[in-house]
Structure 1
């Protein structure tokens, strides 16, 4: 039975038994450039053949035996299609091993892969789209093991054949989706060979290395992750292609029909479905790019455009390829506008970043330009450190500035920080010198204060201490620590003097206590004179009290003002009464009062005559004026007469 023209095995839930010998449908693609990378399909010109169900899983395809020539197809990057892969032909497919019965037939249940004829592949044969098994793995054939006369059977020696279950498991683990692409080695690498047997007969494959269908089934029936295909979209895309009787698939474009691949051993719907899914993948990527165009960066735009352009150059797909190309060109124009918009946004963000950095620099310069005498160095230094952190944050998270602008701003910022540090060092250097001078001056004041601390000249020394205090205030301040220590010494010298004076005054006050009692008794006698009614009697009573007051002596300092004030009040009251009496008995004053009285009496007589005449004349106005003038003169005369009598 001739071997099938395989490149990939269509996925199915249950692999066909090995003994059936029925060939599987195969698919080969042509003209699939490396630009198919975004589709996620396999390279080497092969792909998955699906039955159309979402849960279809791929089965590992055997690779070429070690004796076969290495595949001529150059491996493409992960997820890309081979360049200019030619469809497989019967002439290119090596013949299978002789079908003579072997000593050890392969078990039907352990053959999840291809019939014997599929052990050899074309130069383009590779794993299906969902498989990432190594190229050197080969599935056991469904035929009996070859006899001694079957030299080609050494290609399927146990050491060189990988278990189908393991290949399928690796395939499913590496590429869970229909669009996952395997990574091919540049050349198929056969598995490790066992040591050659002495007998020319190859040893049969050990049964323990052949997985059972139970082991293969879970891998083949792995949970499907194939994206569901929209039936309407698939039908529209399928209308752009056709399949020949030999399985060659064509797509219709504006320039005519183009061969996209060959899918043998399957019906038209299945063959078209394989390439339609590829088309829908590209269409989905184009739609995704269109939806995300306003959010992605120019770099991502360029990368995506390059990928889609390459994918649509000569895609091995069936669908409205020209329509996708037109959409891509429209998106290319929109991408240009998006680039301009992004450039404008970058420029605006850069301008905003320059403005923010400039604000940071200006704040730093304001701090550096402060008057050193009024600068709060600790707070200003912390503010500069905060501004530096803001600069670093803007540099790390904000847009990148052009080098000249950033260098210029950084130089200004650095210059401000340097100027601030220089002013601070200069200020504290001058402050240290000034404080040293203040400290020396206060040391001299302390020496003078300590020399006066033992003086007993209370009044003069107290005045000297007041002068020293004024000089202390005018000297300025040293450092807080030194100034506090100096003040403690100065205050201690003063306190020693004033404590001694207070002790002396306490002794004196104790002696003057009896004098205070005597003066308080004299005050009671003196205050009894008030109010003064008789000047002579008051003066006679006050004189002996004053004599006793002087004899009583001093009183305690705290009571001096109180008792002396009361005595002065009594004396002042007696003097005021005497002064008032003298004024009343003054001859000159009395004579002036008598003369004024005579003048008023004469004026009153004249006014009385005028009033009589006015009444006789009946002039009411003259009568009123005369009566008013007469009344005023009589009032004045009464006051003058009382003054004369007093």
Structure 2
């Protein structure tokens, strides 16, 4: 094709394209002459190749530079006519690559050698982009355009070497694509595992019964799982549409079930809370009615019954239940505070009575032990009269006082029982009869022992001696008891 002259401040498109790969020392007047007309057989594929690799280069490192092909070496692969026509010598093939009119043979040759070096530079850039991990789809397009440029051969240089290098790049891209596919499969497997884990955890929450669900933690975690899903979907590799849709359907279903269970659970809780509130409001009303009562004993019992009902009542929400309990407790406190104040006044009034009864108990201790039962009975009756006359004592001291006087009465009763046991005629007769029978038995055992000793029978001796010793101990105990009855 023929390029028309440009304005004085512009170079021709062909010269501008060749400049990056050309060495400074090879710049020729043909490059810089604004009136130069170049007839170039190179098609648009050459520009497309630069665009393809340029799109990769724009986001990565700059294109690598290559050493320019010496014109002396390049001359072996070309023939240049006097009118500037350049022919590529590619083995047995001769390919007309273009014409540079009004230029020296050397300048015409240099122009098409630069096109050869441009392709070499693009190949070096291609290798660099593979090392940098560029997408294989972009690299495939660039390789196709380099293949087209090499096939068309609108350049001058060692074309067999360029084809050999192009074949190596094809192999390199094939290996690169295989490795990329492996990485993609690994990333997809990882992405699938991540999504599966998210879905499985969500389904576990969805399947948990409402009464066993830790709702606060579970709700927060379900929100986190949704965020994790979006992050994985955005940042990770894409899964197949069927797999993606299947996982999303499960995840969405789990979230829907979780939300449905949560709404039903808290709706039920609200209903129970409302019912509990009504029940406890009624209990509070009854407690407030009783709070002004002065029938201390009966009312305290009623409050105990109310407390039992409160414990059996259903629970409202924590906040409402605490507020209801505070009101119920306040009503009780009014009653029990009034009772406490009344008891305190009574205790102050009965304090002097306590001192009198303390002295009565001290006087009673002086009568112990009771040896003269008649005098003891009389003295205790006098103490009981003084006790009744003393009146009531503070509530906290009632049991202690009653127990103290009861011990005096028990001591007298025990002394009377012991005296009766010793003086009872029937008891004496039974004791004497038992003693007579035991003496007869002892006499028989002594005779048996004597016979055994005479016979030298050690077994009979031991048996008779053991029986005799036991009866002698019983006799000693009966004689002691009989002596007490005299």
TM-score w.r.t. length of structure 1: 0.61
Inter-partner Cα distance in structure 2 for 1:621 and 1:537 = 60
Q: Give the stretch that moved more between structures: 326-335 or 635-644.
A: 326-335
Inter-partner Cα distance in structure 2 for 1:229 and 1:317 = 16
Per the TM alignment, residue 508 of structure 1 is displaced from its structure 2 partner at its CA by 1.4
Aligned residues of 2:292 and 2:335 also touching (Cα < 8 A): yes
SS at structure 1 position matched to 2:47:
coil
In the TM superposition, what whole-angstrom CA distance separates every residue of 1:153-212 from its partner, at most 9, and x where no partner exists?
Answer: xxxxxxxxxxxxxxxxxxxxxxxxxx99xxxxxxxxxxxxxxxxxxxxxxxxxxxxxxxx
Residue in 1 that maps onto 2:287: 449
Aligned residues of 1:43 and 1:81 also touching (Cα < 8 A): no
Per the TM alignment, residue 297 of structure 1 is displaced from its structure 2 partner at its CA by 2.7
Aligned residues of 1:298 and 1:339 also touching (Cα < 8 A): yes
Per the TM alignment, residue 451 of structure 1 is displaced from its structure 2 partner at its CA by 2.1
Coordinate RMSD, CA, aligned: 4.3
The alignment status of 1:528 with 2:366, answered yes or no, reads: yes
Q: Say which of 551, 557, 574 aligns to 2:389.
A: 551
Q: Say which of 589, 592, 598 aligns to 2:436.
A: 598
Inter-partner Cα distance in structure 2 for 1:312 and 1:491 = 98
Aligned residue pairs, count: 462
Q: Say which of 34, 39, 54 aligns to 1:63.
A: 34
Per the TM alignment, residue 397 of structure 1 is displaced from its structure 2 partner at its CA by 0.5
Residue in 2 that maps onto 1:513: 351
Residue in 1 that maps onto 2:271: 433
Inter-partner Cα distance in structure 1 for 2:75 and 2:218 = 77
The verdict on how the C-alpha distance between 1:335 and 1:541 changes in structure 2, with shifts beyond 3 A counting, is same
Question: Which one scores higher on RCO, CA 8 angstroms, separation ≥ 6?
Answer: 1
In the TM superposition, what whole-angstrom CA distance separates every residue of 1:419-472 from its partner, at most 9, and x where no partner exists?
Answer: 333333333333333333322223322222222222221111111122222223
Aligned residues of 1:44 and 1:74 also touching (Cα < 8 A): no
The verdict on how the C-alpha distance between 1:76 and 1:326 changes in structure 2, with shifts beyond 3 A counting, is closer
Q: Say which of 241, 247, 253 aligns to 2:77.
A: 241
Residue in 2 that maps onto 1:417: 255
Aligned residues of 1:442 and 1:475 also touching (Cα < 8 A): yes
The alignment status of 1:43 with 2:10, answered yes or no, reads: no
Q: Give the stretch that moved more between structures: 439-448 or 454-463.
A: 439-448
Inter-partner Cα distance in structure 1 for 2:470 and 2:109 = 144
Inter-partner Cα distance in structure 1 for 2:109 and 2:35 = 28
Aligned residues of 2:276 and 2:313 also touching (Cα < 8 A): yes
The verdict on how the C-alpha distance between 1:56 and 1:562 changes in structure 2, with shifts beyond 3 A counting, is farther
Q: Which structure 2 residues correspond to residues 222-621 of structure 1 after superposition, within 5 A?
A: 227=65, 229=67, 238=74, 241=77, 246=82, 252-258=89-95, 260=97, 279=116, 282-283=119-120, 285-286=122-123, 289-290=126-127, 293=130, 295-533=133-371, 535-621=373-459
Inter-partner Cα distance in structure 2 for 1:77 and 1:465 = 103
Task: Give unmatched runs, 5+ long, in structure 1.
Answer: 1-5, 9-40, 83-178, 181-224
More helix by share: 2
The verdict on how the C-alpha distance between 1:60 and 1:236 changes in structure 2, with shifts beyond 3 A counting, is closer
Per the TM alignment, residue 556 of structure 1 is displaced from its structure 2 partner at its CA by 0.8
In the TM superposition, what whole-angstrom CA distance separates every residue of 1:26-61 from its partner, at most 9, and x where no partner exists?
Answer: xxxxxxxxxxxxxxx962698459996679799972
Per the TM alignment, residue 243 of structure 1 is displaced from its structure 2 partner at its CA by 5.7
Per the TM alignment, residue 522 of structure 1 is displaced from its structure 2 partner at its CA by 0.8
The verdict on how the C-alpha distance between 1:255 and 1:352 changes in structure 2, with shifts beyond 3 A counting, is farther
Aligned residues of 1:442 and 1:472 also touching (Cα < 8 A): yes
Inter-partner Cα distance in structure 1 for 2:376 and 2:198 = 90
Inter-partner Cα distance in structure 1 for 2:45 and 2:205 = 59
Inter-partner Cα distance in structure 1 for 2:28 and 2:481 = 145
Residue in 2 that maps onto 1:186: none
In the TM superposition, what whole-angstrom CA distance separates every residue of 1:263-283 from its partner, at most 9, and x where no partner exists?
Answer: 897797x98777666545544
Inter-partner Cα distance in structure 1 for 2:299 and 2:30 = 117
Aligned residues of 1:42 and 1:79 also touching (Cα < 8 A): no
Aligned residues of 2:64 and 2:124 also touching (Cα < 8 A): no
Aligned residues of 2:38 and 2:99 also touching (Cα < 8 A): no
SS at structure 1 position matched to 2:343:
helix
Q: Which structure 2 residues correspond to residues 171-186 of structure 1 after superposition, within 5 A?
A: none
Aligned residues of 1:446 and 1:493 also touching (Cα < 8 A): yes
Aligned residues of 2:346 and 2:394 also touching (Cα < 8 A): yes
Residue in 1 that maps onto 2:47: 80
Aligned residues of 2:77 and 2:90 also touching (Cα < 8 A): no
Aligned residues of 2:95 and 2:153 also touching (Cα < 8 A): no
SS at structure 1 position matched to 2:14:
coil
Per the TM alignment, residue 516 of structure 1 is displaced from its structure 2 partner at its CA by 0.6
The verdict on how the C-alpha distance between 1:408 and 1:624 changes in structure 2, with shifts beyond 3 A counting, is closer
Inter-partner Cα distance in structure 2 for 1:45 and 1:446 = 97
In the TM superposition, what whole-angstrom CA distance separates every residue of 1:249-297 from its partner, at most 9, and x where no partner exists?
Answer: 66543443545567897797x9877766654554454355456547443
TM-score w.r.t. length of structure 2: 0.78
